[in-house]
Copies of this chain bind each other. A is one copy, B any other.
Amino acid sequence: MTHKEIIDEMKSLDADIIRLGHISALLEWDQETMMPSKAVEERAEQSALMVGLHHQHIVNPRWKELFSSWEALGENPSDETEEAFLREVKSRWEKKTRVPKELAKKMAAAASRSQAAWAEARMKNDFEAFAPSLEAMVQLQRQYALAIAPDADPYDTLLGEYEPGAKSDDVQKVFDELAQGLRGLMSKIQQGTAPNTDFLKQSFSTTQQDEFGRQVQEAMGYDYERGRLDLSAHPFTTTLGPDDVRVTTRYDAKLLLSGLFSNIHEAGHGLYEQGMGSLLRKTILADGASLGIHESQSRFWENMVGRSLAFWTHWFPKLQKLFPQELQSIQLKEFYDAVNEVCPSLIRVEADEVTYSFHIIARFRLEQALIRGELEVNDLPQAWNQAYKDLLGIDVPDDAQGCMQDVHWSVGLFGYFPTYALGNLYAAQFSSAMETELGSLQEILRQGSLQPILDWLRCNIHEPGRTDLPQTLCQKVTGHELSSTHFLEYLENKYAQIYHF
């Protein structure tokens, strides 16, 4: 076979694998947004069937022949994209073929049982009832990691599932610096003047919330001809095809900010997916470089754009028009301060921009210890509560609001949490690189058009998709490896104004 024949056949096989993934995404999207309530059971079987077909296509023996033919040819990839394509399809194939069928089956069954056990135990605040399931998940994840890479640190392997190329030592170093910086910042904030947030406790019509949310998404550049916005219990973004990237949100009349920032956050993810380069279409490379990079896009828009004074200078008058009664007497600066209130709290998903990272750092340390066998599952609640005391300075009243608040570990997602905090760090570092080229972000935002920002993101982050590993992408775009410096600087500058220190 020639170079071209091998690559073409791989692309054709890959396109079907990507397509099967997109079809599964439709099954899930429909389940969360449209599906009638009684169809749950059958939908699970449909999804399982699609997962099986997806797996079959990935382990198709033809891949092995094509990899051998490629090696026998002894040629170099013709460009960076082809090199990345070969790296990604090979890594996908290796992972799937290295995991014994028996283990994969066990993992799927255990995850499903464990999630159910978690939901019940959380409701009853009964960690002991959940512990055996969690223990099983820890063991299975360790086995899984060793099956994929027998000689590597299992936690690094798991982390690499979500953040390819990341090493836990590097992440730990960055997180330690981050924790230290945030602690200093928090003590200043806690001595400052807390903003008034009373007016946010009013009721805000969800119809108007939706109208505003759509206006903002459209201004960001989210393309409704290649996507759509719907309601779901938990907001998410999903890709059903290169021209079909859907976002969801939820509105609550009592929680204006929750819906609003969900709209912006998910559109941030959506813009990334809608912005993949046309040469990558229908290939494995038309995907986020990592979960951390994906999260950098949603958090950049949500926090650095959506929670900035310049953004609201333009948008607050429009919001006031939609809610004249509720917001007429509120000043721009008052609103801006309120959306940036900092307050250490128990629950990760409700945390503000400053304290959020503490929640992640706690989880990162604990899950490493669990996977490495340095922490027993039975000792998790105590370790969790200690971490929250140390990092956030708060007492955890019970495990339901403590170590059982998130679904992740119950379904075997270890190594996933760090990507949320990495997203914040990447966002700040990218933002700083953007300012070097475009000038002050606040100045651009004050002018009202978000287009220059999107253009920069398209060119630097979105179009390359998964071509580079996240570390390489970061180096290329910012000239440095990831650090907490830019994020801490950003927070320091911003909150000094809000909390007057």
Query: In the bound complex, do residue A20 and residue B49 qualify as a contact, i.e. CB atoms below 8 Å apart?
Result: yes
Please measure, in the bound complex, the distance between the C-alpha atom of A26 and the C-alpha atom of B46, giving whole angstroms: 11
Asked whether A38 and B225 contact (CB < 8 A) given A22-B46, A43-B241, A46-B19, the answer is yes
A274 to chain B, nearest CB (A): 10
A-side interface mostly: helix
Query: In the bound complex, do residue A46 and residue B34 qualify as a contact, i.e. CB atoms below 8 Å apart?
Result: no
Smallest Cβ-Cβ distance to A281: which chain B residue: B42
Q: What B residues does A20 contact at CB under 8 A?
A: 49
Query: In the bound complex, do residue A243 and residue B39 qualify as a contact, i.e. CB atoms below 8 Å apart?
Result: yes
Asked whether A225 and B36 contact (CB < 8 A) given A42-B243, A241-B42, the answer is yes
Smallest Cβ-Cβ distance to A241: which chain B residue: B42
Please measure, in the bound complex, the distance between the C-alpha atom of A45 and the C-alpha atom of B227, giving whole angstroms: 18
A249 to chain B, nearest CB (A): 16
Q: What B residues does A243 contact at CB under 8 A?
A: 36, 38-39, 41-42
Residue A23, interface by CB 8 Å: yes
Please measure, in the bound complex, the distance between the C-alpha atom of A59 and the C-alpha atom of B114, giving whole angstroms: 38
Residue A231, interface by CB 8 Å: no
Residue A126, interface by CB 8 Å: no
Please measure, in the bound complex, the distance between the C-alpha atom of A246 and the C-alpha atom of B38, giving whole angstroms: 13
Residue A418, interface by CB 8 Å: no
Query: In the bound complex, do residue B42 and residue A242 qualify as a contact, i.e. CB atoms below 8 Å apart?
Result: yes
Residue A289, interface by CB 8 Å: no
Residue A428, interface by CB 8 Å: no
Instruction: Mark A235-246 against chain B: 1 for CB-CB distance below 8 A, else 0.
Output: 000001111101
Smallest Cβ-Cβ distance to A244: which chain B residue: B39
Instruction: Mark A389-410 against chain B: 1 for CB-CB distance below 8 A, else 0.
Output: 0000000000000000000000
Asked whether A240 and B39 contact (CB < 8 A) given A16-B49, A34-B228, A49-B16, the answer is yes
Q: What B residues does A35 contact at CB under 8 A?
A: 244
Please measure, in the bound complex, the distance between the C-alpha atom of A27 and the C-alpha atom of B24, giving whole angstroms: 11
Smallest Cβ-Cβ distance to A242: which chain B residue: B42
Query: In the bound complex, do residue B38 and residue A226 qualify as a contact, i.e. CB atoms below 8 Å apart?
Result: yes
Query: In the bound complex, do residue B242 and residue A36 qualify as a contact, i.e. CB atoms below 8 Å apart?
Result: no
Residue A119, interface by CB 8 Å: no
Residues facing B in A29-66 (CB within 8 A) are 30, 34-39, 41-43, 45-46, 49-50, 53
Residue A335, interface by CB 8 Å: no
Query: In the bound complex, do residue A228 and residue B53 qualify as a contact, i.e. CB atoms below 8 Å apart?
Result: no
Query: In the bound complex, do residue A49 and residue B19 qualify as a contact, i.e. CB atoms below 8 Å apart?
Result: yes
Please measure, in the bound complex, the distance between the C-alpha atom of A242 and the C-alpha atom of B43, giving whole angstroms: 10
Query: In the bound complex, do residue A26 and residue B37 qualify as a contact, i.e. CB atoms below 8 Å apart?
Result: no
Smallest Cβ-Cβ distance to A38: which chain B residue: B243
Please measure, in the bound complex, the distance between the C-alpha atom of A455 and the C-alpha atom of B327, giving whole angstroms: 56
Please measure, in the bound complex, the distance between the C-alpha atom of A20 and the C-alpha atom of B53, giving whole angstroms: 11
Please measure, in the bound complex, the distance between the C-alpha atom of A315 and the C-alpha atom of B39, giving whole angstroms: 31
Q: What B residues does A46 contact at CB under 8 A?
A: 19, 22-23, 241
Please measure, in the bound complex, the distance between the C-alpha atom of A121 and the C-alpha atom of B280, giving whole angstroms: 37
Residue A93, interface by CB 8 Å: no
Residue A456, interface by CB 8 Å: no
Residues facing B in A216-264 (CB within 8 A) are 224-228, 240-244, 246
Query: In the bound complex, do residue B23 and residue A27 qualify as a contact, i.e. CB atoms below 8 Å apart?
Result: yes
Pull 5 A–B residue pairs with CB atoms less than 8 Å apart, ordered by A: A36-B224, A39-B240, A39-B244, A42-B242, A53-B53
Please provide the 4 A-B residue pairs with the shortest distance between their CB atoms, ordered closest to farther: A39-B244, A42-B241, A38-B243, A39-B243
